[in-house]
Structure 1
């Protein structure tokens, strides 16, 4: 019996690339000894992305789509794609064609060797210097302080088994850093190097604000680094304050006859108050994230299904 491969593809304002993505992937997938399907998840696009995919789905039942009711974020869109994928193997990739479809057979061949997960590693990141620097600092810091040991230079493109997907979907937390969850599932994984291309059309939606949000989520979801930083900083401030106090007393008694003024006192009070708010803010963030988890809300809200036999329109 032939195996089935599901392409899990989150989309967000991708009207300029969808048709080319379908064309290139179909050319490759038709050469593989496997049945396949596309599982697109639209994450609140307001352009013609949904219309284009719907039109293609009318004549091709391999094309399926979940339309989310609003923009949830890529981690949730990816989770929705994994949830509705029915294949024995799942290939997670972006539609922008930076991770080229001609690499799909390499992933398929590798996972046949008994691996549960095959990561794509970019030989050379086609991006601006500042983005490459950000990635290097971000992944280096994350691995050092979380112990996740995420492979360096990972691409979005990766393939995993049905068993791996089921384990991944058992993680129900609302605060979702997908790469961290992949590493938490563990199992037997390997990497392969792939060539990255320039984006086919349009611009990346992963702007600086989204990158910082990703870094924020990763650090707070998988480490206690901010809390440890607060404790250490507090310790050094206390130590520094004690040393400064002793130094002032010694100076006043033996060396300098001075009169302390209120400006220095006010400055110290303001600084101390600010530090207290900073530390309380860090603790509050953790408490807030725990509060969201206790609500146990659904991870995503679906507006419409296409070719999935559920609430279709």
Structure 2
């Protein structure tokens, strides 16, 4: 499924796309601060809140914000599809010449939106916000650095772990982003693949305004696995390389034992052989498991189901 949206004559100048999950305590403050930041720019704007099947009262808070603030557009997905799919749904609904993407927990300060807008007006197509400080735990920060380092090795490029989803895109980039139809997607990885001219600003990462992160340890690990396995095929090449190493190691060991037999006679070595059998069997099973994961994702993709399903849309008709 290819999603494309062209700005209409009544479209806003700036759309702010915010996926919402487990943030019912942040929405009122979020909308208030985003509106104040955008009103200072002096351009027309809209705030697109995408409820990604949130289990709390987020949707009722979005409805209240829609009734109170004329610029708020609410989209409720039929279930949880994941943050990056929710971003895609928000971008598909955005009408602005530019779209700001940010999290709902106010760790990304809305007050820096004018800086993003000023930077992209310098002629960039994408502007990313780089976190100079992090409010996450040390373990999560180190895990993020390790993950992006590994992704850089897999994709033969450098990834900056201090970059997040806080960014602004031009309409050209939005339309190109919406041409992507793969299910396993990561917002930053798609932008990196697209290319275009990229600028940066720096900001301090704030503490979460309310509630707690919906990314548990298991969810973070699953998200990391999806990125490592399904954003690049380089891992398959690593498996082939490992297989060749094991094969050459086996041939060398065979030659050693044959020569040793003729020179010294048979010698005990059942423990080492048993260990090598376990290592080789484990490597084979892991390799088959990785291949199975790739095949499973291919199966999901070829079914060509829509990326998401929308339950409700709240939007005021422009006159």
State TM-score, norm by structure 1. Answer: 0.91
Give the equivalent residue in structure 2 for 1:131: 140
| CA positional deviation for 1:108 | 1.0
- How far does residue 233 in structure 1 lie from its aligned partner after superposition? 1.4
| Deviation digits for residues 23-64 of structure 1 (CA, Å, limit 9, x no counterpart) | 222221221111111111111112111001101212333111
Answer yes or no: is the 8 Å Cα contact 2:154–2:234 preserved in 1.
yes
Query: How many matched pairs?
Result: 308
Q: What residue is the counterpart of 1:102 in the other structure?
A: 111
- Normalising by structure 2, we get a TM-score of 0.89
Conserved? CA contact 1:5–1:35, under 8 Å: yes
1:1-313 equivalent positions in 2, closer than 5 A:
4-258=13-267, 271-307=279-315
Aligned-residue Cα RMSD (Å) equals 2.2
Q: Which moved more, 1:124-133 or 1:141-150?
A: 141-150
- Mapped to 1, the partners of 2:236 and 2:139 lie a distance apart of 28
CA distance in 1, matches of 2:186, 2:157: 12
- 164-173 vs 143-152, greater mean Cα deviation: 143-152
Give the secondary structure class of the aligned counterpart of 2:74: strand
Cα distance in structure 2, aligned partners of 1:257 and 1:151: 55
Structure 2 runs not aligned, ≥5 long = 1-8
Q: Mark the CA change 1:195 to 1:274 in structure 2 (over 3 Å): closer, same or farther.
A: closer
> Aligned equivalents of 2:242 and 2:316: distance in 1?
53
Q: 1:148 to 1:254 in 2, by over 3 A?
A: closer
Aligned equivalents of 1:106 and 1:269: distance in 2? 59
Moved more, 36-45 or 230-239: 230-239
- Structure 1 residues 23 and 3, CA gap change in structure 2 (3 angstroms): closer
Q: Unpaired segments of 5 or more residues in structure 1?
A: none
